[in-house]
Amino acid sequence: MKKKLIVFCMAVGLSLTLAAPSFAVPTLDLNADSLATGTYTSGSPLIISTAFGSVSFVGEINSTPGGDDEFIAAGASGNTFDVPSTPNDAELSWSNFEVRSAEFIYGGNAGNITIEARDINGNVLDSFSQSDTGFQQPAGPITLYAGYTGAVENSIRSLWWTDTSSTNEMAALDNITLSIIPAPGAILLGSIGVGFVGWLRRRRTL
């Protein structure tokens, strides 16, 4: 009976440690009917609530996928995250959680698009660019990664993008999926479960 209890406690501890990455993948899309379209400036960003914390969006909400057949075929519908006319860029950012990768679809009519995954200091960790292909622009999905600096895992804290052609064509993102790096607290909680078993054994409780 004691051995079964030990195995059970260790299994619970390890599952708490390892389970966090499997569910920490919030997807951001703007298809909700309650979300109004319009332009959001740096003075009044759109705040999007998730189970992991708030996401701030500075840019324009566009109610159509821009007539791009590839973008629609990739799953874009309803509202999308777009760049405004001035300035010709947009950004999604978050401060309460860390992201190891970001997947999204992109699209528009004509125009170039550049998307950057940045760290907390604004350094570019990964990027993607698509030159003007007229009305046949591929739509992804594309994944940008935080990567590593030495042995330390980096963290994406924002997605910034622009239409580099400055032609005011639609350069929108949609169906954005963020893969969250497990919070230290979740790892600590799992370690406590394993450590508690060891403490009980030292006291000969088990």
Give the model confidence (pLDDT) of 123-135 as tens digits. 999 999 988 766 6
How do the domains of the chain map onto residue ranges? 1-23+185-206, 25-181
Q: For residues 52 and 47, what is the distance between their CA atoms, to the nearest angstrom?
A: 13
Indicate the residue type of 181: I
**Torsions phi, psi of 36, nearest 5?**
-75, 150
Q: For residues 30 and 176, what is the distance between their CA atoms, to the nearest angstrom?
A: 10
| Domain 25-181: CATH class, spelled out | mainly beta
Q: Report the percent of the chain where pLDDT is more than 70.
A: 58
pTM of the full structure: 0.73
Beta-carbon count within 10 A of 95 CB: 12
The closest of 100, 89, 96 to 156, measured between CA atoms, is 100
What would the mean pLDDT of 76-95 be, rounded to a whole number? 84
Is the predicted pLDDT of residue 101 greater than 80, yes or no?
A: yes
Token reading at 20: 């966090």
Position 77 scores a pLDDT of 76
Position 188 scores a pLDDT of 43
